[in-house]
A and B are shown apart, each in its own frame.
Chain A
Amino acid sequence: MSNRKIRVLLAKPGLDGHDRGARVIARCFRDAGFEVIYTGCHQTPEMIAAVALQEDVDVVGLSCLSGAHNYLFPQVAKLLQDKGANDITVIGGGIIPEKDMAGLYEAGIKEIFTPGATLDSLVEWINNNVNPKE
């Protein structure tokens, strides 16, 4: 039985400022008992990866509504892998066309949430798929 509290980093890579979703999810995660580090808008993948390591998070949640997800999401996953942090689960959300999904999964993004996903389904996914090690 783990005493672990799940730690989540929520970040918005890229230049878009549409943070409504990220802000709502930050609160929802707090209310689900997670510790949430929210780094706001306009992050580079390098910043996000550095913060993820310093904060020892279990999950990195990325939100992007600008259309640049095909570059930004895989870049975060790659930087984490390069630093040996394969165990950090990277998930993404935003306006992600169906046809981009396969490529993102391929790049190491574990799940993509698109508009319409309920808050409960997000929390449930994390509880089912993220199990922090002792």
Chain B
Amino acid sequence: MKELSKKVLEGDIRAASRLIRNLEDQIPNTYIAMQEIFGKTGNAHVVGITGAPGAGKSTLTDELICAYRKKGDTVGVLAVDPTSPFSGGALLGDRIRMLRHAEDTGVFIRSLATRGAMGGISKAVGEAIHVMDVLKKSKIIVETVGVGQQEVDIINHAHTVAVVLVPGMGDEIQALKAGLMEIADIFIINKADRDGAGKLYKETLNMVNMSKDNKNGAQGWRIPVLLVESVLEPIKFAESVEALRDKIDEHYQYLIDNDLLSERMRRKTTAELNEALWGTILQPILKDLHADGEINRLVDKLLTKASDPYSLAAEVASKYMK
């Protein structure tokens, strides 16, 4: 594992992708590699792109990569697609829209499957961001699944969250109500040349104005609503995505200027600590209990009401944690 992290730190793409895979597959001892890496993270600007299916997230991400490359940034992309609940397999199709960057060594795109995680991203995303970070990608874009409206986990991982809306999807307002409003730093009205875009723009703007006094408002960041013009006109499209890029960067600068970056990462970092505590403390105990069949004995006690979960937990704790 140390060798793997060494290679990753040297910038080896395959090693980085393998490390991400170890995290996805929950290969034991992967934490050893992550130990080497953690201290060197925290340099990249993490951008979340979220929104309903068909909103054009991948196409937008593709163009955003161009916009960042033009500015001299290097870009990492984590594109998340859903795992089939029936087979455990997945079709990872986001990067097909980003193929023109395949050979650009300044761009590293990695597809991830949700592996059963809810919330729009996979469990490994947080750590995969660290891996991209030590590969010295200055911008890391996380594209969420886009299957539902509960895709709020991205807020824990991204400095800047852009929510993509498109006219004609019917449930814009519901989506806003359902919580995307709470996580958006920037709203994008994509396919703004379509019928209904004006209406959607106004609705979104109203919504943003009404919530002026929420956390963002109080801290002085006014959530902008950007229009992105048709992908059918490449020049216009590129221009509006460049404007989006500038807005995203402005938000990042705002966080830095107001000393909010670490505040923003507190939840993620807490979650990481939780995860590590779980992995280091609880997991070995569970493994032990499973290994000698003790777990079944404990469950039997519960089924016959001979004991209760709380007493048993206390019993286990006192045995292992002296």
Contact = CB atoms under 8 A, between A and B. Distances in A.
**A–B: direct contact at CB < 8 Å:** yes
A30 B109 contact: no
B110 A3 contact: no
A40 B96 contact: yes
Contacts of B10: none
A56 interface: yes
B91 A26 contact: yes
A65 interface: no
Contact of A34 (B26, B89, B96): B89
Contacts of B26: 3
Interface in A1-49: 3-5, 7, 26-27, 29-40, 43, 46-47
Interface string B48-90: 0000000000000000000000000000000000011011111
B168 interface: no
A119 interface: no
B17 A56 contact: yes
Q: Interface size class for chain A?
A: 20 to 34
Q: Interface size class for chain B?
A: 20 to 34
Given A37-B111, A39-B95, A55-B111, A30 B90 contact: yes
A37 to B, nearest CB: 5
Given A26-B91, A30-B90, A33-B89, A53 B96 contact: no
B89 A46 contact: no
A83 interface: yes
Q: Sort A-B residue pairs by CB-CB distance and give the 10 closest, nearest first.
A: A56-B17, A30-B89, A47-B102, A33-B89, A33-B88, A50-B102, A37-B92, A3-B25, A35-B90, A31-B87
